Amino acid sequence: ERARERTVPASRVGRLASFGGRVSLGPPHLTPCPLSADGSGSVLGSSPFLSEANAARIVDTLCKVRGAALKIGQMLSIQDNSFLSPQLQRIFARVRQSADFMPAWQTRRVLAEELGQDWREKVASFEETPFAAASIGQVHLGVLRDGMEVAMKIQYPGIAQSIRSDVENLLALLRLSAVLPAGLFADNTLRVLQRELEWECDYRREADCARSFRQLLAGDSFFEVPRVVGELTTRRVLTMELGSGVPLDQCQELPQDVRNEICLNVLRLSLRELFHFRFMQTDANWANFFYDAGKHQVTLLDFGASRPFSREFTHHYIEVIKAAADRDRAKVLQKSKDLKFVTGFETKEFEEAHVDTVMILGEPFSTPGLFDFSVQSTTRRVQALIPVMLRHRLTPPPEESYALHRKLAGCFLLCAHLRSRIPCHDLFQELYRQYWARERGA
């Protein structure tokens, strides 16, 4: 199914009508969906609400309204989620691939409102059909008067104003699809995502984040951050120098040593962002990393999800990873309490499942030599523990962990996708030594 040109409903009433009017909840449209063979379904289970016909309507609705609901759907689809039913997984996989795009007249209206009626005089050329369309905006190719090719990201109208209502509508949809486990803390999760989405809708903030990363990585020979074109950037339009290359998920057929180097550098950068910069671009979408084989460089894109981390958080978090790397279960649990992942009043079953999960995720950093991501079974083993944690969790995770874990999961999934073999143990041990050396010298 291909993306289509469709007007984005800009008013809250129009968006609510799109949500409410597209899904049939009763006969004759309701077609029950079978449960899994053992009758249990997934953690969220299957639901008659998610018949094939309704699933198609939900996909159509999310791609039409875009915004927060589509963004959250895309976030969910890029992870390996055992708590989503197969029907929801298929829905979110479809909406991740593409959103529908604005018609040209609506695009021109946004540009005129943001850049002025004379916006065309500020560029030599502008392609009216976008080359990418996502949840919050779409991207067009342009050429400046000096010949520089640029990517112009244009925000859909009404998106920023509709975040809260869109999140509420999506939460209602998830509740209709199945009973949400209390341990999922869905309200808290979506509240954190709502705040992140509000950041992403502010393109001036994203431009500042891009400039910060360009400065932080100025001396890095492997990563490149495109230049922001300030005179063509506003709260709803972001113009940046056009990057080159292909998304990293299209690099599977590159030689093994090249794939290893890409993954090692991406993982190293993620750890540097957290423990050195304390400022991370948290969007795990592989399309935000473009590899140029001619330059042997990766261009970094999309900085809207960038966020800071406190010194207190990174102090505790690096010790959780160190404890997992050292296979020290007692320290993993203690440092998890320091981080407020656990309260200390959970059941023994929950504590064991939590520590098991951390130990599994820490295996790349505890394995001497090269860690082979192509043969790891991390996802399957973690998924087996999630139902226990959802049943017995007493407190939501720290706010910082939502975006951080999406990013780290995305890095690990990329390493598995590219079948990389990299020295994660040595990478972390060196970073750990550098971290505390800097802190002692601070």
Catalytic residues: 283
Region at 244 (left for phi over 0; alpha for psi -120 to 50; beta for the rest): beta
Phi/psi class of residue 354: alpha, beta or left (left: φ > 0; alpha: ψ in -120 to 50)?
alpha
Strands 223-224 and 279-281: unpaired
Q: DSSP states of 90-131 as a string?
A: HHHHHHHH---B--HHHHHHHHHHHH-TTGGGG-SEE-SS-S
In single-letter form, the type of residue at position 342 comes to V
Tokens matching residue 97: 């691939």
Nearest to 23, CA basis, from 153, 212, 218, 169? 169
d(CA 54, CA 56): 5
For tokens 């298929």, what's the residue?
90
DSSP 271-292: HHIIIIISEEE----GGGEEEE
3 state SS of 242 = coil
Residues 6+ apart with CB under 8 A from 303: 206, 209, 210, 213, 281
State how far the alpha carbon of 179 is from the alpha carbons of 1, 9, 182, 183, in Å: 30, 30, 9, 12
Tokens of 242: 């056009």
Q: Which two tokens stand for residue 101?
A: 């795009």
